[in-house]
Amino acid sequence: MYRIGKLEQDRVEKLFSSKEIFRYGRAGECETFEEAWGKRLGVEHVRMTTSGTASLYAALIGLGCGPGDEVIVPSCTYMATALAVLATGAIPIVADVDESITLSPRDVERRISPYTKVIIPVHMWGLASDLDGLMKLANEHNIQVLEDACQSVGGGYKGRKLGSIGHAGAFSFNYFKNMTCGEGGAFVTNSQEVMDRGSVAVDCCSYYWNPDEHKEELQFAGLNFRATEVAGAILNAQLERIDDMLGTMHDHRKQLLEAGTDAGLESIAYNSFDDDCGTHLGFIFGTEEDAREFSGRLREQKVNNEVEESSMRGFLPIDTGRHVYTRWDPIMRKQGAHHPDLNPYNLPANQKLEVEYSEDMCKDSLEILSRAVLLPMHCDNSESVVEQMGKGIREAA
């Protein structure tokens, strides 16, 4: 969460005075947001949900994922990416990231099997995945791509919008994301079929709200992860802020990258530096020891924002807990459901997949994630703060 205030407050107040907070009422906040988000992304269909996890789940159901299918996920993502796969009955296959800290097409190719149904590139920390490489592979092997854009709301890739390039995309609007309504999400696609099926997964009666859609094939059992108009109203206000915020962070990151590379640091391998979210600057080191020394020295650098002095915050991705596969306990232990008979690892349709997980199954990732240091940007940093940060980076380097 970067900015929230009067804009959101006014919009919600107006909604409350209408008393229409159910999404199929007359206020139309969710519909307005879905239309605007679709237009911004250049996609035909958008459906709001209650979270990024629900959005990934809906998109996977939409793409036809289920028992007997493998879904390739990166070794570095919030655990929910892989858990959404299990919720459909399919099995997550973990693949390496490269020095972009996102999914490595080379490793994905190695892990494709006759059962691979979907690849999920995750644009972690606002960094775009190598979508050219991954889409090429997917097309060659007749596999679908679901972009997990939960951490990259508003960002792009080579002139297009993240989330709009694969066969489907999923977004989170939880408190920590570039746009927020506290908790929320959306999935997007250009396919009517994916949207219809995904919609039933997150709104068990979705075909009922639209009388034209009483199709028998849609009347399977879904759940309810319907968004509220309150979320829609907040996001409509947040939409007015996103470009300015990301633009500012982009400018700051460019300035700070130059400070680092001038001082001899090596940048991580950005796949689309000018278009991604710009929320994180990354450097990569020869060894973990060097990375830790740099991040320790960075913490000793102080930045004064005219109100208070604080230490600079850089982090090693390896230290981010459930963002690294070795800490995905339910997956590593194959506890894929609340009941053994529903556990995808026990389902007869999945027995042919022969999936084995181990701590070192993505050794290259662990090594890369231990040698990288990421620095968060903030759109409210003043020019003076950014200058001090640049000086701090040079000193630490």
51 binds ligand PLP (CB under 6 A): yes
Q: DSSP for 260-307?
A: HHHTT-EE---SSTTTS---EEEEE-SSHHHHHHHHHHHHH-EEE-SS
Chosen residue from 11, 12, 41, 81 binding ligand PLP by CB under 6 A: 81
Nearest distance in Å: CB 56, ligand PLP: 6
Six-digit token pair at 251? 């400018």
Q: Which of 198, 392 has the CB closer to ligand PLP?
A: 198
172 binds ligand PLP (CB under 6 A): yes
Six-digit token pair at 223? 């759940």
CB atoms inside a 10 Å sphere around CB 3: 16
Please choose, from the candidates 131, 244, 224, the residue with its C-alpha nearest in 3D space to the C-alpha of residue 179: 244
185 binds ligand PLP (CB under 6 A): yes
80 binds ligand PLP (CB under 6 A): yes
Rounded CA gap, 244 and 112, in Å?
40
Which segment (48-56, 64-72, 206-214, 268-276) binds ligand PLP by CB under 6 A?
48-56
Chosen residue from 8, 53, 227, 275 binding ligand PLP by CB under 6 A: 53
Residue whose beta carbon is closest to ligand PLP:
52
Nearest distance in Å: CB 177, ligand PLP: 7
Which segment (50-58, 205-213, 239-247, 340-348) binds ligand PLP by CB under 6 A?
50-58
Q: Which of 225, 270 has the CB closer to ligand PLP?
A: 225
Q: Which of 116, 151 has the CB closer to ligand PLP?
A: 151
Which segment (77-85, 159-167, 194-202, 290-298) binds ligand PLP by CB under 6 A?
77-85
Q: Classify residue 5 as exposed, middle or buried by CB count within 10 Å of its CB (0-12, 13-18, 19+).
A: exposed
Q: Which residues are CB-contacts of 75 (< 8 A; sequence separation ≥ 6)? A: 94, 95, 96, 97, 324, 325, 362, 365, 366
Q: Which of 122, 353 has the CB closer to ligand PLP?
A: 122
Query: Is residue 90 a contact partner of residue 117, using CB atoms and an 8 Å limit?
Result: yes
Number of residues in contact with ligand PLP under rule CB under 6 A:
14
Q: Which of 43, 181 has the CB closer to ligand PLP?
A: 181
Rounded CA gap, 120 and 72, in Å?
6
174 binds ligand PLP (CB under 6 A): yes
Six-digit token pair at 209? 């709200």
201 binds ligand PLP (CB under 6 A): no
CB atoms inside a 10 Å sphere around CB 263: 13
| Helices 52-62, 80-87: crossing angle, 10 deg rounding | 40
Q: Which of 61, 347 has the CB closer to ligand PLP?
A: 61
Q: Which of 282, 392 has the CB closer to ligand PLP?
A: 282
Nearest distance in Å: CB 49, ligand PLP: 9
Using DSSP, state whether 301 is helix, strand or coil.
coil
Chosen residue from 78, 207, 225, 294 binding ligand PLP by CB under 6 A: 78
Residue with the two structure tokens 């199929």? 24
Q: If you count them, how many residues does the chain have?
A: 397
**Residues 102-161 contacting ligand PLP, CB under 6 A:** 122, 148, 150-151
Q: DSSP for 149-171?
A: -TT-TT-EETTEETTSSSSEEEE
Q: Classify residue 304 as exposed, middle or buried by CB count within 10 Å of its CB (0-12, 13-18, 19+).
A: exposed
Which segment (18-26, 45-53, 260-268, 343-351) binds ligand PLP by CB under 6 A?
45-53
Residues near ligand PLP (CB under 6 A) = 51-53, 77-78, 80-81, 122, 148, 150-151, 172, 174, 185
